[in-house]
Amino acid sequence: MLRFREDIFTNEVLGLIRQASTELPEDVENALKNALAQEEPSSTANMVLSSILENVDLARKTSRPMCQDTGLPAFYISYPQSVSTLKIKKCVEKAVVAATKKGYLRPNAMSSLTAYNSGDNIGKYIPHIEFTEWLEDDIHVKCMLKGGGCENVSTQYAIPSPGLKAGRDMDGVFTCVMDAVQKAQGKGCAPGILGIGIGGDRTISISLAKKQLFRDLNDVNQCSYLVELEERIMKEANTLGIGPMGLGGKTTVLAAKAETAYRIPASYFVSVSYMCWACRRKEMTFKLDNK
């Protein structure tokens, strides 16, 4: 009989949050280093990217949050049938409270009615936890910390959009994404990573967009249409001249990652989940105790 050790799990989730907050994933750091090599020496873009990379290094070495805005923590959990999701939820909440106390998370959760800040990142519907039952024996946890700045510039379009001249085809999708990048300027902390959700209803679309942000920046989309779209967005977005933090330069976007869902004939949604350069995501697999 496999046993779910709640104390150990809680501690490992705390470690996961700490790592997500303080250690930038290697693929993102490498993309930033490549970007730095592209920018002119002594340009503002060069200075901004150098500061970002220095900050990433300092954060990792001293185990401090690379950015003070640790967002509203979100967790995506796959679990075996034998484990109670109520128990998992309790553990995750405990880990979030502990991570806040230790300064790996800023106390962000506040009431939308009274502005009361709970002080521990626990509140109505917060933290966000999504459960999926699976056939494996272990628990898989994905954690994402996404700050408010880039969440504010994330957006959703319904096409056709006469204003944008965006129709219901890949050109239309492309136009929507470019519009989102152009409107975001530096406010989402460029260079950003774009999660793109195409189709679905409004909820499916934005959720799909956000989940693309877990993808390794170097992976290749399984769908050839989407490979083409992603490459086109990358190429063109980086000619906009917005640059790191919106102060001008060649690097506006580090990656574009798209996925589609089926839709209803009446609707065609395009969602853009904009992630700042501080793309804080981390995953872990927790094995159940077989003693």
Partner 1 sequence: MSTISLTLPLKEDEVRRLKVGDTVLLSGTLITGRDMAHTWLVKEKRSDVAELLRGSAIYHCGPIMLKEDDKWVCKAAGPTTSIREEPYLADVMKEYGVKAVIGKGGMGEKTANALKEYGGVYLFAVGGAAVLLADHIEEVLDVHKLEDFGVPEAMWVLKVKDMPLIVSMDSHGKSLHDEVADVSAEAFGNIISKQ
Residues found near partner 1 in the complex (CB under 8 A): 44, 47-48, 51-52, 54-55, 58-59, 62, 64-70, 102-103, 105-108, 110, 115-117, 119, 147-149, 152, 164-165, 171, 174-175, 178-179, 182, 185-187, 189, 236, 239-243, 245-248, 276-278
Cα(128)–Cα(7) distance, integer angstroms: 21
Nearest distance from C-beta of residue 54 to partner 1, angstroms:
6
How far from 59 is each of 264, 280, 281, CA to CA, in Å? 45, 12, 15
CB 98 within 8 A of CB 154: no
Encoded tokens for 222: 């399984």
Shortest gap between Cβ of 132 and partner 1 (angstroms)? 31
- Nearer to partner 1 by Cβ, of 158 and 240: the residue is 240
Q: Which is nearer to partner 1, 44 or 78 (CB)?
A: 44
Is the Cβ of residue 22 or residue 221 nearer to partner 1 in the bound state? 22
* Closest distance of CB 157 from partner 1, Å: 14
| Shortest CB 248 distance to partner 1, Å | 5
Instruction: In angstroms, give the least distance from the CB of 196 to partner 1.
Output: 17
| Cβ-based burial of 222 (10 A; exposed 0-12, middle 13-18, buried ≥19) | exposed
Nearer to partner 1, 21 or 91 (CB): 21
- Report helix, strand or coil for 274: strand
Q: How far apart are CA 72 and CA 122, in angstroms?
A: 9
Residue 226 backbone phi and psi in degrees, to 5:
-75, -30
User: What's 287's DSSP letter?
Assistant: P
Element (H, E) at 283: strand 280-286
CB of 108 to partner 1, least distance (A): 7
- Asked if residue 283 lies in contact with residue 141, where contact means CB atoms within 8 angstroms, the answer is yes
Contacts of residue 7, Cβ cutoff 8 Å, sequence gap at least 6: none
Nearer residue to partner 1 within complex by CB, 60 or 90:
60
3-state helix, strand, coil in the chain (%, to 5): 40, 20, 40
- Please check whether residue 181 is in contact with residue 194, taking contact to mean a CB–CB distance below 8 angstroms: yes
Residue closer to partner 1, measured from CB, 219 or 231: 231
Q: Which of 15/167 has CB closer to partner 1?
A: 167
**Least distance from partner 1 to the Cβ atom of residue 121, Å:** 11
Q: What is the CA radius of gyration of the chain?
A: 20
